[in-house]
Amino acid sequence: GENVEQHPSTLSVQEGDSAVIKCTYSDSASNYFPWYKQELGKRPQLIIDIRSNVGEKKDQRIAVTLNKTAKHFSLHITETQPEDSAVYFCAASTSGSSNTGKLIFGQGTTLQVKP
């Protein structure tokens, strides 16, 4: 069935370093790839997304890259700050998502930024 694998499950970096989280997806029909950030005890919130007709998208310190051929996409955070500490989820749309909006989520990455 449709599947999204996310790695690593935990990531610890020093403040100011970069962090990279990678996801692979199985459904070749997937065409929308969002990233959500979830702070402890809070709801997931969208931080960046990319559609399949674009290879890279940036928003200040965060960027997402997509390789459709290899079916993987990555989140890059530069100049990390302690407030970037959270759980990050990737997701991919599924066949028929244009009508249903269904997303398949990865397992999550706990990012810790050490001051």
Partner 1 sequence: NAGVTQTPKFQVLKTGQSMTLQCAQDMNHNSMYWYRQDPGMGLRLIYYSASEGTTDKGEVPNGYNVSRLNKREFSLRLESAAPSQTSVYFCASRTGTSSYEQYFGPGTRLTVT
Interface contacts to partner 1, rule CB under 8 A: 4, 6, 9, 32, 34, 42-46, 49, 89, 91, 93, 97, 99-108
Q: Tokens in use for 66?
A: 């997509």
Q: Which is nearer to partner 1, 12 or 45 (CB)?
A: 45
Nearer to partner 1, 50 or 78 (CB): 50
Query: CA 36 to CA 59: how far, in whole Å?
Result: 14
Q: Minimum CB separation from partner 1 for residue 84, in Å?
A: 19
Name the minimum Å distance from CB 106 to partner 1.
6
| Cis peptide leading into residue 8 (ω within 30°) | yes
**Alpha carbon distance 73, 17 (integer Å):** 20
Q: Are 74 and 22 in contact (CB under 8 A)?
A: yes
Complex with partner 1: residue 12 or 81, whichever CB lies closer: 12
Are the C-beta atoms of 80 and 16 separated by less than 8 Å?
Answer: yes
Closer of 68 and 78 to partner 1 (Cβ): 68
